Amino acid sequence: MTSATIEIRKGLAGVVVDSTAVSKVNPETNSLLYRGYPVQDLAANCSFEQVAYLLWNGELPSPEELAAFIQQERAGRALEPVVKQVVDALPITAHPMDVCRTAASVMGACHPLAGDSSPAANMAKALDLFAAMPAVVAYDQRRRREGRPIEPVEPRAELGYSANFLWMSFGEEAAPEVVEAFDVSMILYAEHSFNASTFTGRVVTSTLSDLHSAVTAAIGALKGPLHGGANEAVMHTFEEIGIRSGESGGEAAARAKAWMEDALAHKKKIMGFGHRVYKNGDSRVPTMKAALDKMIAHYGRPELLGLYNGLEQAMEEAKAIKPNLDYPAGPTYHLMGFDTEMFTPLFVASRITGWTAHIMEQAAANSLIRPLSAYNGVEQRSL
């Protein structure tokens, strides 16, 4: 094969690299299935704990299985002293995604099953990460707000995953509708086939490295604004346009439209819009937008809906590019009270489930991932 005949698919666009039974993304029907179940049905009828169990085990849990699973999750929620020590050593100028990445790495180094990559050990490690990451994210936000190491808010075993996450983040119990919207976001963020971070996790796993190394690498891949970092970037756009509490939706929409027209005229890429696979809209957006609408009503903030609609309409008119999941998720987390830079760590807490399901799938039917490249440097020459 000469270099002239090699077809290069930049960004692996359109390349099928392996099969997976974890989820199916179908851009033609605008649908997303987790283990065969439509994600919007799971969001309407299941808890995030049930969905995590489904992603790992292939089936929804029976009541007995769920009870045992919940017990394990609740037992692993506290911020481990060694993790707190390392987080406290990191400057608050470090991005919270760097904190998440470091925490995942520390949890791997200190895990009692470090060195054991058997299926049972991997399942235990996945559950431990899933249970423990909320405490890291919640604590990191609180220490940043205080500007110094503090005592974490202890988890509460009588609360479900999402209610407890919000409790540890804010030190007060969230309203049931807020818990519900947060749980929906966790379910929608959980899994999305061979996206960049999941693929990163699979590449690391393919070398027979360990689960925590794969998750640590996946967190690094998620951080970028072309991927998970977009939910944070969406909020920066809103902030740049200006959030004016009390402004009418119509006025906010007009300002947002003008901002978008100007940004597109300057050839800017607008985070929260577009998708590598979905070209006609992200399957998860209607469900997340419904959750955002509920939060806008709950907090009485119509100006945010105005900004949301104005940007979406202007993008549709100019380029017909649709929003992705990060677009409604960003303002939803803002309304709940999270600081903007914590949004992508929230994505991490959810996606740990999908990443580890893929890591276990890769490990069970492994082949080293090692593609080829076409050389385009200088031809061989003499010294």
Ligand X SMILES: CC(=O)SCCNC(=O)CCNC(=O)[C@H](O)C(C)(C)COP(=O)(O)OP(=O)(O)OC[C@H]1O[C@@H](n2cnc3c(N)ncnc32)[C@H](O)[C@@H]1OP(=O)(O)O
Q: Please report, as ranges, the residues that interact with ligand OAA according to CB under 6 A.
A: 192, 195, 276-277, 324-325
Could you say which of ligand OAA, ligand X, none residue 52 binds, taking C-beta under 5 to 8 angstroms by partner kind? none
DSSP 8-state assignment for residue 53: H
Q: How far is the CB of 326 from ligand X (least distance, A)?
A: 5
Closest to ligand X by CB, 122 vs 198, is 198
Residue 275 annotated to the active site: yes
Which of 275, 282, 334, 358 is catalytic? The answer is: 275
Label residue 201 exposed, middle or buried (CB < 10 Å: 0-12, 13-18, 19+). buried
- Residue 213: beta bridge partners? none
SS3 232: helix
Binders of ligand X among residues 300 to 319 (CB under 6 A) are: 319
What is the C-alpha separation between 21 and 96, in angstroms, rounded?
A: 32
Strands 23-26 and 37-38 come out as: unpaired
Task: Give the nearest distance from C-beta 200 to ligand X in angstroms.
Answer: 13
Q: What minimum distance in Å lies between the beta carbon of 226 and ligand OAA?
A: 9
**Residue of 263, 281, 279 lying closest to 271 (CA atoms):** 263
Tally of CA atoms within 13 A in the half-sphere of 202 that contains its CB: 22
Q: Which is nearer to ligand OAA, 198 or 216 (CB)?
A: 198
Q: Which of 128, 140, 210, 326 is catalytic?
A: 326
Residue 273, classed as helix, strand or coil, is strand
Min separation Cβ 288 and ligand X, Å: 11
Tokens standing for residue 81: 């002293």
From candidates 228, 249, 310, 330, binder to ligand X by CB under 6 A: 228
Nearer to ligand OAA, 277 or 321 (CB): 277
Q: How far is the CB of 263 from ligand X (least distance, A)?
A: 8
Residue 324 interacting with ligand X (CB under 6 A): yes
DSSP secondary structure letter of residue 93: T
Q: What would the two tokens of residue 201 be?
A: 């996790």
Active-site annotation holds for 326: yes
- Site mask, ligand X, residues 5-44, x = CB under 6 A? ------x---------------------------------
- For residue 355, give Cα distances in angstroms to 2, 48, 66, 186, 350: 37, 15, 21, 14, 9
Q: Given the rule CB under 6 A, which residues bind ligand X? A: 11, 226-228, 230, 269-276, 319, 321, 324-326
**Residues labelled catalytic:** 275, 326
